[in-house]
Amino acid sequence: MSGISPEELERLRYPIGRFEARIYLNAEERKQDIQTTGRLADDLGRAVLPLTLLQLDTPYREGGWSVRQVVHHLADTGMYAYLRFKKGLTEETPQIPSYRQDLWAEQSDYLEEPLESSLQLMDSLNRRFVTLLNSMAEPDFERCFVSAGLGELSLDAALQRYIWHNKHHIAQIASLIQRNGW
């Protein structure tokens, strides 16, 4: 990589740090996470909608995805997270396959589709997700699934990871915008 230190690369890749699950101390924290889930599409939209087409096709770091690819990636991972939850709620510790997100990001829908379709998808999906999350009882959040890429996760940890993943990519975009003075 051209003159970037390992520390700087880490900051570019993980501007909010790497994921660390926390144990919920009270129902208010979970309620806040559920409310955050409902705002993720709006937060992303505020970051990307003012950008030009050229800016949308700019990678957030050297060797990274473009802003456009990140937005479509977040829509896809939102669908995947929702389905993980549904399986975790309805099956006993289901096995969840991984997917090749690097190859998904090379598909035409990531490269050509306007952002609005993914932002609308995320908004609709997260509304359904919030409805589902609000209906869950405390023991439901302790249910688990096994992800081929992540190992065993409780639904509690999976919700935290979903929020972190969205904030992580929004922070990558915000960092790009700041660095380029957009």
Query: Tens of pLDDT along 127-149?
Result: 999 999 999 999 999 999 999 88
Fold of the 25-180 domain: Four Helix Bundle (Hemerythrin (Met), subunit A) (1.20.120)
d(CA 41, CA 124): 9
CB 111 within 8 A of CB 68: yes
Q: Which residue has the higher pLDDT, 4 or 37?
A: 37
Q: Which residues contact 163 (CB under 8 A, 6 or more apart)?
A: 33, 36, 37, 40
Which residue type sits at 119?
L
Q: 25 falls in which pLDDT band (50, 70, 90)? A: low
Q: What is the pLDDT of residue 1?
A: 47
Q: What is the pLDDT of residue 2?
A: 61
Least trusted range by pLDDT, from 6-10, 48-52, 61-65, 89-93? 6-10
Average pLDDT, the chain: 93
What percent of the chain has a predicted confidence (pLDDT) above 70?
98
d(CA 21, CA 159): 9
> Which is it for strands 144-147 and 95-96: parallel, antiparallel or unpaired?
parallel
Q: What is the pLDDT of residue 58?
A: 97
Global pTM reads: 0.93
Q: Which residues contact 29 (CB under 8 A, 6 or more apart)?
A: none
The pair phi, psi for residue 79, each rounded to 5°, is -60, -45
**Residue 175 burial (10 A CB sphere; 0-12, 13-18, 19+):** middle
Q: What is the mean pLDDT of residues 164-169?
A: 97
Least trusted range by pLDDT, from 3-7, 88-92, 157-161, 175-179? 3-7
CB 172 within 8 A of CB 64: yes
